Structure 1
Protein backbone atom coordinates (compact mmCIF):
# COMPACT_ATOMS: atom_id res chain seq x y z
CA UNK A 1 0.00 0.00 0.00
CA UNK A 2 1.57 3.27 -1.14
CA UNK A 3 0.59 6.63 0.34
CA UNK A 4 -0.73 9.02 -0.74
CA UNK A 5 -3.32 7.31 -2.95
CA UNK A 6 -3.30 8.97 -6.36
CA UNK A 7 -4.67 8.59 -9.86
CA UNK A 8 -3.56 9.99 -13.20
CA UNK A 9 -5.60 12.73 -14.84
CA UNK A 10 -4.35 13.92 -18.21
CA UNK A 11 -0.84 12.89 -17.23
CA UNK A 12 -0.88 14.57 -13.81
CA UNK A 13 -1.00 12.78 -10.44
CA UNK A 14 -4.11 13.78 -8.46
CA UNK A 15 -4.68 12.85 -4.82
CA UNK A 16 -7.84 10.88 -4.05
CA UNK A 17 -8.38 13.15 -1.07
CA UNK A 18 -9.91 15.89 -3.19
CA UNK A 19 -12.43 13.38 -4.59
CA UNK A 20 -13.57 12.21 -1.17
CA UNK A 21 -13.63 15.77 0.19
CA UNK A 22 -15.98 16.75 -2.63
CA UNK A 23 -18.09 13.61 -2.19
CA UNK A 24 -18.39 14.26 1.54
CA UNK A 25 -19.89 17.71 0.93
CA UNK A 26 -22.14 16.60 -1.94
CA UNK A 27 -23.51 13.47 -0.25
CA UNK A 28 -23.94 15.27 3.09
CA UNK A 29 -26.06 17.99 1.45
CA UNK A 30 -28.12 15.51 -0.56
CA UNK A 31 -28.73 13.40 2.54
CA UNK A 32 -29.88 16.51 4.43
CA UNK A 33 -32.49 17.31 1.75
CA UNK A 34 -33.57 13.66 1.65
CA UNK A 35 -34.12 13.55 5.43
CA UNK A 36 -35.88 16.91 5.33
CA UNK A 37 -38.63 15.54 3.09
CA UNK A 38 -41.85 14.88 4.97
CA UNK A 39 -40.65 16.64 8.12
CA UNK A 40 -42.66 19.53 9.53
CA UNK A 41 -39.77 21.95 9.84
CA UNK A 42 -40.54 24.86 12.22
CA UNK A 43 -37.90 26.91 10.40
CA UNK A 44 -38.76 28.33 6.98
CA UNK A 45 -36.77 27.36 3.89
CA UNK A 46 -35.31 30.85 3.48
CA UNK A 47 -34.21 30.94 7.11
CA UNK A 48 -32.66 27.48 6.69
CA UNK A 49 -30.61 28.86 3.82
CA UNK A 50 -29.45 31.80 5.95
CA UNK A 51 -28.55 29.42 8.77
CA UNK A 52 -26.57 27.19 6.38
CA UNK A 53 -24.75 30.28 5.10
CA UNK A 54 -23.86 31.21 8.68
CA UNK A 55 -22.62 27.67 9.28
CA UNK A 56 -20.43 27.69 6.15
CA UNK A 57 -18.87 31.07 6.90
CA UNK A 58 -18.28 30.12 10.54
CA UNK A 59 -16.81 26.74 9.55
CA UNK A 60 -14.55 28.36 6.97
CA UNK A 61 -13.09 30.71 9.58
CA UNK A 62 -13.08 28.34 12.55
CA UNK A 63 -11.42 25.47 10.72
CA UNK A 64 -8.54 27.74 9.67
CA UNK A 65 -8.07 29.49 13.02
CA UNK A 66 -7.94 26.28 15.06
CA UNK A 67 -5.65 24.68 12.48
CA UNK A 68 -3.32 27.69 12.72
CA UNK A 69 -3.20 27.28 16.50
CA UNK A 70 -2.24 23.62 16.14
CA UNK A 71 1.35 24.73 15.45
CA UNK A 72 1.88 27.72 17.79
CA UNK A 73 5.56 28.13 16.88
CA UNK A 74 4.64 28.79 13.24
CA UNK A 75 1.81 31.28 13.76
CA UNK A 76 3.89 34.32 12.81
CA UNK A 77 5.26 32.53 9.73
CA UNK A 78 1.78 31.97 8.35
CA UNK A 79 0.91 33.36 4.92
CA UNK A 80 -2.62 33.83 3.62
CA UNK A 81 -2.11 30.74 1.45
CA UNK A 82 -0.99 28.47 4.30
CA UNK A 83 -3.70 29.92 6.54
CA UNK A 84 -6.35 29.02 3.97
CA UNK A 85 -4.94 25.60 3.06
CA UNK A 86 -4.65 24.32 6.65
CA UNK A 87 -7.96 23.31 8.19
CA UNK A 88 -9.41 21.01 10.83
CA UNK A 89 -12.87 19.48 11.16
CA UNK A 90 -13.04 20.26 14.89
CA UNK A 91 -12.44 23.94 14.20
CA UNK A 92 -15.02 23.81 11.43
CA UNK A 93 -17.61 22.41 13.83
CA UNK A 94 -16.89 25.08 16.43
CA UNK A 95 -16.86 27.88 13.89
CA UNK A 96 -20.00 26.52 12.26
CA UNK A 97 -21.77 26.36 15.62
CA UNK A 98 -21.10 30.01 16.38
CA UNK A 99 -21.75 31.03 12.79
CA UNK A 100 -25.21 29.49 13.09
CA UNK A 101 -25.92 31.11 16.45
CA UNK A 102 -24.83 34.51 15.12
CA UNK A 103 -26.97 34.17 12.00
CA UNK A 104 -30.00 33.05 14.01
CA UNK A 105 -29.73 36.17 16.14
CA UNK A 106 -29.54 38.33 13.02
CA UNK A 107 -32.63 36.78 11.39
CA UNK A 108 -34.53 36.37 14.66
CA UNK A 109 -34.77 32.56 14.78
CA UNK A 110 -34.92 31.16 18.31
CA UNK A 111 -35.78 27.52 17.49
CA UNK A 112 -33.00 24.93 17.80
CA UNK A 113 -31.91 24.01 14.28
CA UNK A 114 -29.19 21.36 14.50
CA UNK A 115 -30.91 17.98 14.92
CA UNK A 116 -31.63 17.49 11.23
CA UNK A 117 -27.93 17.87 10.38
CA UNK A 118 -26.58 15.13 12.66
CA UNK A 119 -26.83 12.13 10.32
CA UNK A 120 -25.61 14.08 7.24
CA UNK A 121 -22.62 15.35 9.25
CA UNK A 122 -21.73 11.85 10.46
CA UNK A 123 -21.88 10.46 6.91
CA UNK A 124 -19.90 13.39 5.51
CA UNK A 125 -17.17 13.03 8.16
CA UNK A 126 -16.90 9.30 7.44
CA UNK A 127 -16.44 9.90 3.71
CA UNK A 128 -14.05 12.79 4.29
CA UNK A 129 -11.86 10.67 6.55
CA UNK A 130 -11.42 8.13 3.75
CA UNK A 131 -9.68 10.92 1.90
CA UNK A 132 -7.61 11.82 4.97
CA UNK A 133 -6.50 8.20 5.36
CA UNK A 134 -5.52 8.08 1.69
CA UNK A 135 -2.97 10.86 2.33
CA UNK A 136 -0.96 8.86 4.88
CA UNK A 137 1.58 11.03 6.71
CA UNK A 138 1.35 13.83 4.14
CA UNK A 139 -1.67 15.18 6.04
CA UNK A 140 -1.76 15.71 9.80
CA UNK A 141 -4.41 13.07 10.52
CA UNK A 142 -1.99 10.29 11.47
CA UNK A 143 -0.99 9.03 14.91
CA UNK A 144 2.21 8.50 16.84
CA UNK A 145 4.32 5.37 16.48
CA UNK A 146 2.83 2.30 18.12
CA UNK A 147 3.20 -1.46 18.56
CA UNK A 148 -0.57 -1.75 18.87
CA UNK A 149 -2.21 -4.40 16.68
CA UNK A 150 -3.75 -1.72 14.44
CA UNK A 151 -0.43 0.02 13.77
CA UNK A 152 0.12 0.77 10.07
CA UNK A 153 2.88 2.07 7.84
CA UNK A 154 1.29 5.26 6.52
CA UNK A 155 4.11 6.13 4.19
CA UNK A 156 7.17 6.84 6.34
CA UNK A 157 8.20 3.27 7.19
CA UNK A 158 6.95 3.49 10.79
CA UNK A 159 3.98 1.74 12.39
CA UNK A 160 1.55 4.44 13.47
CA UNK A 161 -1.98 4.71 14.81
CA UNK A 162 -4.26 5.10 11.75
CA UNK A 163 -6.26 7.87 13.42
CA UNK A 164 -8.39 8.51 10.32
CA UNK A 165 -9.56 4.87 10.40
CA UNK A 166 -10.33 5.16 14.11
CA UNK A 167 -12.53 8.17 13.40
CA UNK A 168 -14.31 6.33 10.61
CA UNK A 169 -15.07 3.48 13.02
CA UNK A 170 -16.30 6.00 15.59
CA UNK A 171 -18.59 7.60 13.00
CA UNK A 172 -20.12 4.16 12.35
CA UNK A 173 -20.83 3.80 16.08
CA UNK A 174 -22.37 7.28 16.21
CA UNK A 175 -24.50 6.50 13.16
CA UNK A 176 -25.84 3.36 14.84
CA UNK A 177 -26.47 5.27 18.09
CA UNK A 178 -28.42 8.07 16.44
CA UNK A 179 -30.46 5.69 14.34
CA UNK A 180 -31.27 3.77 17.52
CA UNK A 181 -32.51 6.90 19.31
CA UNK A 182 -34.31 8.23 16.23
CA UNK A 183 -37.73 7.88 17.83
CA UNK A 184 -36.66 8.61 21.38
CA UNK A 185 -38.37 11.63 22.93
CA UNK A 186 -35.76 14.35 23.33
CA UNK A 187 -35.79 18.13 23.55
CA UNK A 188 -35.39 19.91 20.24
CA UNK A 189 -31.69 20.46 19.67
CA UNK A 190 -30.51 17.76 22.09
CA UNK A 191 -29.48 15.34 19.35
CA UNK A 192 -27.13 17.91 17.87
CA UNK A 193 -25.73 18.75 21.29
CA UNK A 194 -25.21 15.05 21.99
CA UNK A 195 -23.36 14.63 18.71
CA UNK A 196 -21.11 17.61 19.41
CA UNK A 197 -20.27 16.42 22.92
CA UNK A 198 -19.53 12.87 21.78
CA UNK A 199 -17.47 14.03 18.80
CA UNK A 200 -15.36 16.44 20.82
CA UNK A 201 -14.92 13.82 23.54
CA UNK A 202 -13.41 11.56 20.88
CA UNK A 203 -11.22 14.36 19.52
CA UNK A 204 -10.01 15.25 23.02
CA UNK A 205 -8.97 11.65 23.73
CA UNK A 206 -7.52 10.74 20.34
CA UNK A 207 -5.36 13.87 20.36
CA UNK A 208 -3.12 12.14 22.91
CA UNK A 209 -2.08 9.54 20.33
CA UNK A 210 -1.29 12.16 17.69
CA UNK A 211 2.01 14.11 17.41
CA UNK A 212 0.45 17.38 18.57
CA UNK A 213 2.07 20.70 19.50
CA UNK A 214 1.05 22.06 22.93
CA UNK A 215 -0.68 25.42 22.87
CA UNK A 216 -1.10 25.99 26.62
CA UNK A 217 -0.64 23.84 29.73
CA UNK A 218 0.59 20.93 27.66
CA UNK A 219 -2.61 20.71 25.62
CA UNK A 220 -3.21 21.41 21.94
CA UNK A 221 -5.71 23.72 20.28
CA UNK A 222 -7.95 20.68 19.72
CA UNK A 223 -7.87 19.86 23.45
CA UNK A 224 -8.82 23.44 24.29
CA UNK A 225 -11.52 23.48 21.63
CA UNK A 226 -13.05 20.37 23.18
CA UNK A 227 -12.91 21.85 26.70
CA UNK A 228 -14.50 25.05 25.40
CA UNK A 229 -17.30 23.02 23.79
CA UNK A 230 -17.89 21.10 27.02
CA UNK A 231 -18.08 24.39 28.95
CA UNK A 232 -20.49 25.84 26.37
CA UNK A 233 -22.78 22.82 26.69
CA UNK A 234 -22.26 22.27 30.43
CA UNK A 235 -25.99 22.54 31.24
CA UNK A 236 -26.79 19.88 28.65
CA UNK A 237 -23.96 17.64 29.91
CA UNK A 238 -25.19 17.92 33.50
CA UNK A 239 -28.73 17.13 32.36
CA UNK A 240 -27.42 14.17 30.36
CA UNK A 241 -25.54 12.81 33.36
CA UNK A 242 -28.54 13.34 35.63
CA UNK A 243 -30.87 11.28 33.43
CA UNK A 244 -28.36 8.68 32.21
Structure 2
Protein backbone atom coordinates (compact mmCIF):
# COMPACT_ATOMS: atom_id res chain seq x y z
CA UNK A 1 0.00 0.00 0.00
CA UNK A 2 1.25 3.47 -0.87
CA UNK A 3 0.84 6.20 1.74
CA UNK A 4 -0.93 8.54 1.93
CA UNK A 5 -4.07 7.04 0.39
CA UNK A 6 -6.01 9.64 -1.60
CA UNK A 7 -9.30 9.89 -3.46
CA UNK A 8 -10.11 11.80 -6.63
CA UNK A 9 -13.32 13.71 -5.92
CA UNK A 10 -14.69 16.13 -8.52
CA UNK A 11 -11.26 16.37 -10.11
CA UNK A 12 -9.48 17.14 -6.84
CA UNK A 13 -7.10 14.87 -4.93
CA UNK A 14 -8.21 14.58 -1.31
CA UNK A 15 -6.53 12.73 1.56
CA UNK A 16 -8.41 9.72 2.90
CA UNK A 17 -8.32 11.06 6.46
CA UNK A 18 -10.84 13.94 6.13
CA UNK A 19 -13.06 11.76 3.93
CA UNK A 20 -13.24 9.02 6.55
CA UNK A 21 -13.71 11.57 9.36
CA UNK A 22 -16.67 13.11 7.54
CA UNK A 23 -18.21 9.73 6.74
CA UNK A 24 -17.66 8.59 10.33
CA UNK A 25 -19.40 11.64 11.81
CA UNK A 26 -22.32 11.33 9.39
CA UNK A 27 -22.89 7.60 10.04
CA UNK A 28 -22.45 8.01 13.80
CA UNK A 29 -25.00 10.86 13.91
CA UNK A 30 -27.52 8.77 11.98
CA UNK A 31 -26.89 5.88 14.38
CA UNK A 32 -27.33 8.19 17.39
CA UNK A 33 -30.68 9.54 16.13
CA UNK A 34 -31.81 5.97 15.44
CA UNK A 35 -31.00 4.99 19.04
CA UNK A 36 -32.60 8.18 20.33
CA UNK A 37 -35.89 7.36 18.61
CA UNK A 38 -35.89 3.90 20.20
CA UNK A 39 -34.95 5.15 23.67
CA UNK A 40 -37.73 5.26 26.30
CA UNK A 41 -36.10 8.34 27.83
CA UNK A 42 -37.35 11.42 26.01
CA UNK A 43 -35.91 14.91 26.27
CA UNK A 44 -37.56 18.18 25.35
CA UNK A 45 -36.43 20.04 22.25
CA UNK A 46 -34.79 22.78 24.36
CA UNK A 47 -32.76 20.29 26.37
CA UNK A 48 -31.70 18.31 23.29
CA UNK A 49 -30.74 21.48 21.41
CA UNK A 50 -28.77 22.86 24.36
CA UNK A 51 -26.84 19.60 24.81
CA UNK A 52 -26.10 19.33 21.09
CA UNK A 53 -24.84 22.93 20.94
CA UNK A 54 -22.77 22.49 24.11
CA UNK A 55 -21.21 19.24 22.90
CA UNK A 56 -20.44 20.61 19.43
CA UNK A 57 -18.96 23.90 20.66
CA UNK A 58 -16.91 22.21 23.36
CA UNK A 59 -15.62 19.48 21.05
CA UNK A 60 -14.70 21.96 18.31
CA UNK A 61 -12.80 24.23 20.70
CA UNK A 62 -11.17 21.39 22.66
CA UNK A 63 -10.03 19.36 19.67
CA UNK A 64 -8.20 22.35 18.22
CA UNK A 65 -6.90 23.79 21.50
CA UNK A 66 -5.40 20.52 22.77
CA UNK A 67 -4.25 19.58 19.26
CA UNK A 68 -2.24 22.79 19.05
CA UNK A 69 -0.97 22.62 22.62
CA UNK A 70 0.75 19.33 21.74
CA UNK A 71 3.47 21.61 20.38
CA UNK A 72 3.10 24.90 22.33
CA UNK A 73 6.33 26.38 20.90
CA UNK A 74 4.95 26.24 17.36
CA UNK A 75 1.63 27.64 18.56
CA UNK A 76 2.98 30.69 20.39
CA UNK A 77 6.19 31.47 18.52
CA UNK A 78 4.89 31.21 14.97
CA UNK A 79 1.10 31.37 15.13
CA UNK A 80 -0.75 30.39 11.98
CA UNK A 81 -4.56 30.36 11.89
CA UNK A 82 -4.50 27.71 9.18
CA UNK A 83 -2.33 25.42 11.32
CA UNK A 84 -4.50 26.12 14.37
CA UNK A 85 -7.71 25.27 12.51
CA UNK A 86 -6.37 22.06 10.94
CA UNK A 87 -4.77 20.71 14.14
CA UNK A 88 -7.21 18.41 15.95
CA UNK A 89 -7.27 15.62 18.48
CA UNK A 90 -10.17 13.45 19.58
CA UNK A 91 -8.85 13.60 23.17
CA UNK A 92 -9.47 17.34 23.34
CA UNK A 93 -12.79 16.97 21.54
CA UNK A 94 -14.10 14.41 24.02
CA UNK A 95 -12.80 16.22 27.11
CA UNK A 96 -14.11 19.66 26.15
CA UNK A 97 -17.27 18.22 24.61
CA UNK A 98 -18.02 16.82 28.06
CA UNK A 99 -17.46 20.26 29.62
CA UNK A 100 -19.73 21.84 27.01
CA UNK A 101 -22.51 19.34 27.76
CA UNK A 102 -22.25 19.87 31.52
CA UNK A 103 -22.44 23.65 31.09
CA UNK A 104 -25.44 23.30 28.75
CA UNK A 105 -27.22 21.00 31.22
CA UNK A 106 -26.75 23.53 34.02
CA UNK A 107 -28.14 26.32 31.83
CA UNK A 108 -31.34 24.37 31.07
CA UNK A 109 -31.42 22.80 34.57
CA UNK A 110 -31.27 19.19 33.31
CA UNK A 111 -29.85 16.93 36.01
CA UNK A 112 -30.12 13.48 34.42
CA UNK A 113 -27.19 11.84 32.65
CA UNK A 114 -27.31 11.99 28.84
CA UNK A 115 -24.16 10.10 27.88
CA UNK A 116 -25.11 6.42 27.56
CA UNK A 117 -26.92 6.87 24.27
CA UNK A 118 -23.89 8.38 22.52
CA UNK A 119 -21.36 5.70 23.55
CA UNK A 120 -21.71 3.30 20.62
CA UNK A 121 -22.10 6.03 17.96
CA UNK A 122 -18.92 7.63 19.36
CA UNK A 123 -17.03 4.36 19.15
CA UNK A 124 -18.21 3.88 15.57
CA UNK A 125 -17.16 7.42 14.59
CA UNK A 126 -13.70 7.00 16.11
CA UNK A 127 -13.15 3.64 14.42
CA UNK A 128 -14.03 5.02 10.98
CA UNK A 129 -11.88 8.08 11.61
CA UNK A 130 -8.92 5.91 12.63
CA UNK A 131 -9.15 4.03 9.36
CA UNK A 132 -8.52 7.39 7.73
CA UNK A 133 -5.60 8.03 10.11
CA UNK A 134 -4.03 4.71 9.15
CA UNK A 135 -4.41 5.44 5.41
CA UNK A 136 -2.60 8.77 5.92
CA UNK A 137 0.53 7.07 7.29
CA UNK A 138 3.28 9.45 8.42
CA UNK A 139 1.83 12.42 6.55
CA UNK A 140 -0.19 13.50 9.60
CA UNK A 141 0.87 13.23 13.23
CA UNK A 142 -1.17 10.09 13.95
CA UNK A 143 1.58 7.49 13.53
CA UNK A 144 3.73 5.50 15.93
CA UNK A 145 7.39 5.38 16.83
CA UNK A 146 9.80 3.08 14.96
CA UNK A 147 9.74 -0.49 16.25
CA UNK A 148 11.39 -3.87 15.69
CA UNK A 149 8.29 -5.77 16.84
CA UNK A 150 6.30 -8.06 14.58
CA UNK A 151 3.59 -5.39 14.43
CA UNK A 152 5.86 -2.86 12.73
CA UNK A 153 4.63 -1.52 9.36
CA UNK A 154 5.97 0.81 6.69
CA UNK A 155 3.68 3.84 6.79
CA UNK A 156 5.32 6.03 4.19
CA UNK A 157 8.96 6.37 5.25
CA UNK A 158 11.95 4.07 5.68
CA UNK A 159 11.04 2.94 9.21
CA UNK A 160 8.91 0.12 10.52
CA UNK A 161 6.48 1.88 12.86
CA UNK A 162 3.82 0.99 15.36
CA UNK A 163 0.47 1.17 13.48
CA UNK A 164 -1.17 2.96 16.41
CA UNK A 165 -4.38 3.61 14.46
CA UNK A 166 -4.87 -0.14 14.07
CA UNK A 167 -4.10 -0.69 17.77
CA UNK A 168 -6.80 1.83 18.62
CA UNK A 169 -9.33 0.22 16.28
CA UNK A 170 -8.69 -3.18 17.88
CA UNK A 171 -9.10 -1.70 21.36
CA UNK A 172 -12.34 0.08 20.42
CA UNK A 173 -13.84 -3.09 18.96
CA UNK A 174 -12.99 -4.98 22.14
CA UNK A 175 -14.39 -2.16 24.30
CA UNK A 176 -17.60 -2.03 22.23
CA UNK A 177 -18.09 -5.76 22.81
CA UNK A 178 -17.51 -5.44 26.57
CA UNK A 179 -19.80 -2.42 26.92
CA UNK A 180 -22.52 -4.20 24.92
CA UNK A 181 -22.34 -7.14 27.34
CA UNK A 182 -22.64 -4.75 30.29
CA UNK A 183 -25.54 -2.87 28.71
CA UNK A 184 -27.55 -6.09 28.38
CA UNK A 185 -27.40 -6.67 32.14
CA UNK A 186 -29.23 -3.39 32.82
CA UNK A 187 -27.86 -3.25 36.36
CA UNK A 188 -26.23 0.17 36.40
CA UNK A 189 -27.23 3.76 37.01
CA UNK A 190 -27.84 6.12 34.10
CA UNK A 191 -24.57 7.43 32.69
CA UNK A 192 -22.46 4.49 33.87
CA UNK A 193 -21.78 3.17 30.35
CA UNK A 194 -20.49 6.57 29.26
CA UNK A 195 -18.32 6.81 32.36
CA UNK A 196 -16.80 3.40 31.63
CA UNK A 197 -16.21 4.39 28.01
CA UNK A 198 -14.45 7.62 28.95
CA UNK A 199 -12.32 6.00 31.66
CA UNK A 200 -11.33 3.11 29.37
CA UNK A 201 -10.62 5.23 26.30
CA UNK A 202 -8.57 7.88 28.08
CA UNK A 203 -6.59 5.21 29.96
CA UNK A 204 -5.81 3.54 26.64
CA UNK A 205 -4.82 6.83 25.01
CA UNK A 206 -2.56 7.70 27.96
CA UNK A 207 -0.64 4.45 27.41
CA UNK A 208 -0.74 4.61 23.61
CA UNK A 209 0.99 8.00 23.52
CA UNK A 210 4.15 6.46 24.97
CA UNK A 211 4.71 4.87 21.53
CA UNK A 212 3.82 8.00 19.55
CA UNK A 213 6.06 10.99 18.76
CA UNK A 214 5.33 13.86 21.15
CA UNK A 215 6.70 17.01 22.71
CA UNK A 216 7.38 16.32 26.40
CA UNK A 217 5.66 18.91 28.58
CA UNK A 218 5.92 17.53 32.12
CA UNK A 219 8.49 14.82 32.73
CA UNK A 220 8.10 12.42 29.82
CA UNK A 221 4.41 13.20 29.38
CA UNK A 222 2.91 15.10 26.48
CA UNK A 223 -0.11 17.43 26.46
CA UNK A 224 -2.54 14.68 25.47
CA UNK A 225 -1.32 12.45 28.30
CA UNK A 226 -1.79 15.24 30.85
CA UNK A 227 -5.35 15.77 29.62
CA UNK A 228 -5.91 12.01 29.80
CA UNK A 229 -4.73 11.91 33.43
CA UNK A 230 -7.15 14.70 34.38
CA UNK A 231 -10.09 12.89 32.74
CA UNK A 232 -9.06 9.54 34.26
CA UNK A 233 -9.03 11.00 37.79
CA UNK A 234 -12.42 12.65 37.18
CA UNK A 235 -14.04 9.44 35.98
CA UNK A 236 -12.55 7.30 38.74
CA UNK A 237 -14.43 9.62 41.12
CA UNK A 238 -17.62 9.51 38.98
CA UNK A 239 -17.64 5.71 38.72
CA UNK A 240 -17.04 5.38 42.45
CA UNK A 241 -20.03 7.68 43.03
CA UNK A 242 -22.17 5.69 40.57
CA UNK A 243 -21.26 2.42 42.33
CA UNK A 244 -22.23 3.86 45.71
CA UNK A 245 -25.54 5.10 44.24
CA UNK A 246 -26.30 1.67 42.74
CA UNK A 247 -25.65 0.00 46.10
CA UNK A 248 -28.08 2.41 47.80
CA UNK A 249 -30.71 1.65 45.16
CA UNK A 250 -30.42 -2.07 45.90
CA UNK A 251 -30.90 -1.55 49.64
TM range (shorter): over 0.9
Which digits, 9 at most, give the CA deviation of each residue in 1:22-55, with x for residues without a partner? Answer: 1111011000011122321243243112201100
Partners of 1:234 and 1:128 in 2: CA distance: 27
CA separation of 1:144 and 1:174: change in aligned 2, threshold 3 A: same
| 8 Å Cα contact 1:5/1:135 also seen in 2 | yes
Pair 1:155-2:167 in alignment: no
Instruction: Give SS of 1:8's match.
Output: strand
Deviation of the 1:80 alpha carbon? 1.7
| 8 Å Cα contact 1:2/1:155 also seen in 2 | yes
Q: How many residues align?
A: 243
Partners of 1:178 and 1:153 in 2: CA distance: 33
Matched ranges for 1:233-244 at <5 A = 233-238=235-240
CA separation of 1:144 and 1:241: change in aligned 2, threshold 3 A: farther
Pair 1:139-2:140 in alignment: yes
Deviation of the 1:9 alpha carbon? 3.1
Structure 1: stretches of 5+ with no match in the other structure: none
Pair 1:197-2:199 in alignment: yes
Deviation of the 1:131 alpha carbon? 0.7
Pair 1:208-2:210 in alignment: yes
Structure 1 counterpart of 2:50: 50
Q: Structure 1 length normalisation: TM-score? A: 0.94
Partners of 2:98 and 2:162 in 1: CA distance: 29
Structure 1 counterpart of 2:249: none
Matched ranges for 1:63-102 at <5 A = 63-76=63-76, 77-102=78-103
Structure 2: stretches of 5+ with no match in the other structure: 247-251
Which digits, 9 at most, give the CA deviation of each residue in 1:4-28, with x for residues without a partner? Answer: 0012234432212222111111011
| 8 Å Cα contact 2:192/2:239 also seen in 1 | no
Which digits, 9 at most, give the CA deviation of each residue in 1:141-192, with x for residues without a partner? Answer: 1000001111000001210000011111111111111111122211111110
Q: Structure 2 length normalisation: TM-score? A: 0.92
CA separation of 1:238 and 1:41: change in aligned 2, threshold 3 A: closer
Pair 1:126-2:127 in alignment: yes
| 8 Å Cα contact 1:58/1:96 also seen in 2 | yes
CA-atom RMSD in angstroms: 1.7
